[in-house]
């Protein structure tokens, strides 16, 4: 334990001592040695980087380890900030600067396995949104936008260190101290029956796995049966002639009340140009229309619960 702590201390000091070189150099090591002694937050684990915008208590979570020139003896608190990155410009740009959210005192940390303060920083979606002045009006944020969580170390002598003062050698590699993290916004889906209308222009069914939906870990499927090979787990036959392949059909995907997440995926087809489908929300709104030739992949079906 003591040996490992001394190794950490030596490495930390080596990163921040002032260089005594009389000439300028472009070497990476010289860039490292040009920084004064300060403090770092080493990322131990990112526990959750997805925020459910339908749940104000949904929280970003990261476990970090603080180190300063006195092995945590100068650690006062961590100040938490949040920034909104609007990645959905169709509904306007709601991007923000970093705004202060909360502070976590050093007393909330415990001594980790190498003798340094270690603890978990959590930021609730509702707290971050309120700090940035964002509201659930359907335009400030939508699934796919990003909250950036920024951390600042404050020492007992008043000095502070954050993502703007960290050297590149600190933000990556062994020390992994970026001071900021991306949290993707999702939402709880609107509960009810989603209707999937499917077509095959050739009339011999779909020759692929079709559409799969992961509803909180329970799989549901939608496809048109075929006679040319293994059909998907759930597929629609020709109602007028059972056992025959249809040119069209309808499947209902049920999302129960209280569902936290539903992930839709189109698994492709041997003849993609023949496949088309439409997806309707529980209120009857057309939310996706896919024409022939579409490549397989995730389907951006996101109708948020009210």
Residue 12 CA, distance from chain mean position: 31
79 strand-pairing partners: 103, 152
* pLDDT of 32: 38
Q: CA distances (Å), 224 to each of 51, 204, 211, 246, 284, in order?
A: 35, 9, 10, 7, 22
Distance CA 195, CA 289 (A): 12
Cβ–Cβ under 8 Å, residues 272 and 156: no
pLDDT (tens digit per residue) in 28-59: 333 433 445 689 999 999 999 989 998 899 99
For residue range 54-89, what is the model confidence (pLDDT) as tens digits? 889 999 999 999 999 999 999 999 999 999 999 877
Q: Report the C-alpha gap between 85 and 293 in whole angstroms.
A: 32
| Model confidence pLDDT, tens digit, residues 232-255 | 667 887 656 666 678 999 999 999
For domain 40-186, the CATH architecture is Sandwich (2.60)
Phi-psi region of 16 (alpha: psi -120 to 50; beta: other; left: phi over 0): alpha
Residue spans per domain, the chain? 40-186, 192-299
Are the C-beta atoms of residues 194 and 263 closer than 8 Å to each other?
Answer: no
Strands 99-105 vs 59-68: parallel, antiparallel or unpaired? unpaired
Strand, helix or coil for residue 171 = helix
Q: Which residues pair with 252 in a beta bridge?
A: 195
Q: Read off the pLDDT of residues 160-187 as tens digits, 9 standing for 90 and up.
A: 999 987 654 344 444 466 899 999 898 8
Q: How many CA atoms lie within 13 A of 8 on its CB side?
A: 23
Nearest 5°: CA angle at 260, between 197 and 291? 25
What is the DSSP pairing of strand 50-52 with strand 180-186? Answer: parallel
Cα–Cα dist 193/36, whole Å: 60
**CA–CA dist 295, 198 (Å, integer):** 16
Q: State residue 134's pLDDT score.
A: 94
Residue 37 confidence (pLDDT) = 64
Q: Are 222 and 275 in contact (CB under 8 A)?
A: no
């Amino acid at each position: 334990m003591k040996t490992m702590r001394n190794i950490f201390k030596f490495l930390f000091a080596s990163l921040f001592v002032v260089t005594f070189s009389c000439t300028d150099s472009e070497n990476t090591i010289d860039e490292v040695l040009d920084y004064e002694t300060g403090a770092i937050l080493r990322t131990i684990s990112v526990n959750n980087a997805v925020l459910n915008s339908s749940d104000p208590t949904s929280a970003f979570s990261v476990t970090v380890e603080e180190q300063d020139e006195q092995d945590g003896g100068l650690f006062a608190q961590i100040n938490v900030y949040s920034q909104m990155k609007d990645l959905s410009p169709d509904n306007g740009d709601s991007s923000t600067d970093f705004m202060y959210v909360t502070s976590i005192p050093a007393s909330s940390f415990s001594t980790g396995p190498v003798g340094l303060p270690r603890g978990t920083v959590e930021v609730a979606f509702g707290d971050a949104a309120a700090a940035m002045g964002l509201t659930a009006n359907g335009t400030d944020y939508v699934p796919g936008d990003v909250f950036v969580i920024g951390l600042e170390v404050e020492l007992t002598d008043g000095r502070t260190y954050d993502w703007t003062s960290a050297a590149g050698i600190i933000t990556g590699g062994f020390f992994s101290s970026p001071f900021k993290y991306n949290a993707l916004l999702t939402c709880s889906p609107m509960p009810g029956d989603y209707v999937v209308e499917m077509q095959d222009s050739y009339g011999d069914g779909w020759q692929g796995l079709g559409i799969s939906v992961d509803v909180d870990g329970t799989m549901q499927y939608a496809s048109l049966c075929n006679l040319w090979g293994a059909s998907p787990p759930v597929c629609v036959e020709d109602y007028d002639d059972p056992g025959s392949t249809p040119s069209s059909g309808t499947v209902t995907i049920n999302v129960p009340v209280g569902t936290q997440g539903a992930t839709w995926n189109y698994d492709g087809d041997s003849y993609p140009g023949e496949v088309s489908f439409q997806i309707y929300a529980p209120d009857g709104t057309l939310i996706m229309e896919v024409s022939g030739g579409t490549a397989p992949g995730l389907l951006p079906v996101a109708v948020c619960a009210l």
